[in-house]
Amino acid sequence: MYYVVTGAAGFIGSRLVRALNARGITEIIAVDNLEKSEKFRNLAELEIADYIDKREFLDRLLADQFDDAIEVVFHQGACSDTMESDGRYMMDNNYRYSRTLLDWCQDEEAAFIYASSAAVYGPSTVFREERSCERPLNVYGYSKFLFDQYVRRRMESRQSQIAGFRYFNVYGPNEAHKGRMASVAFHAFNRFMEHGDVSLFVGSAGYDDGEQRRDFVHVDDVVNANLWFFGRPGVSGIFNCGTGRAQSFNDVAVAVINTVREARGETPMTREEMMRAGLIRYVPFPPALEGKYQSYTQADLSNLRAAGCDQAFMSVEQGVKSYVTHLIERRGSAKPG
């Protein structure tokens, strides 16, 4: 039996393949689109049974080439660019493709574990998995929202496990290919190494400079949640996947800078000291994000905990330190420039 991971060469997908390998699982069909070929590096050190282009995979699936051969589909593939303006592409890629996969899994009684997004909540200040809290601000969020609605309609008559995870602000190894959509931690690290400072947005929506707050969650915690559910086929539903703790962008910047300073043998600094030294600076809020920006997110984990998932999630201080240490090791040095 095969384990299918869509988006396997991407950020979360490749970390999921890595975690499956750590469990001794190599019968993995990696599905992705390598038009951005640099993503192959995320799979180069991993063990898979086959790689199939995302378009070919769907064609082969619908041609009955995988009947009774797939145990689970971890559907991580999507267009995650929140600034993407091509709504037709977004809906075809994130909604229609996902719907076809889910229908096939139900027909074949294969588990379907998929990536949703906290973008479905939009400007809401309450982040519960309820229709009244869901107000997407862009077509990316809408594509995820609409698929979640389809999942809800299928849930009562399901033939196999369906588990969806509304990822909050995920960061960690294997995200470099995401470019502008990579995490704040990734961009802060690169900025600090190249220019000696970290740039954050000035205040907005009543928050002071850099004090906008998000639920920042390490990618390996996200992967662990996926695997916890896979080991419990009787548990289905749509669940928030975050730490349950909103922390500021300033917290991320401080964690990045102090981890680099520690690697250089330098003493840690407070945010105030960093600001006085010019290590943190604030830049104008981009007009393109006005009205489309979540200044606050915090996962309500009540449903996740009620399902029995009691895993711990790293704080920004823990997770960003681990991530930046990894980036320094891959870079080979904590020296500037």
Which residues belong to the active site? 140, 178
Measured CA angle at 91 (ends 88, 96), to 5 deg: 125
Neighbours of 153 (CB within 10 A): 8
Check: CB of residue 97 under 8 Å from CB of residue 31: no
Neighbours of 253 (CB within 10 A): 29
Check: CB of residue 15 under 8 Å from CB of residue 174: yes
Give the max Cα distance, the chain: 64
CA distance 90 to 320: 30
Neighbours of 27 (CB within 10 A): 14
Q: Given phi > 0 = left and psi -120 to 50 = alpha, else beta, which region is 206?
A: left
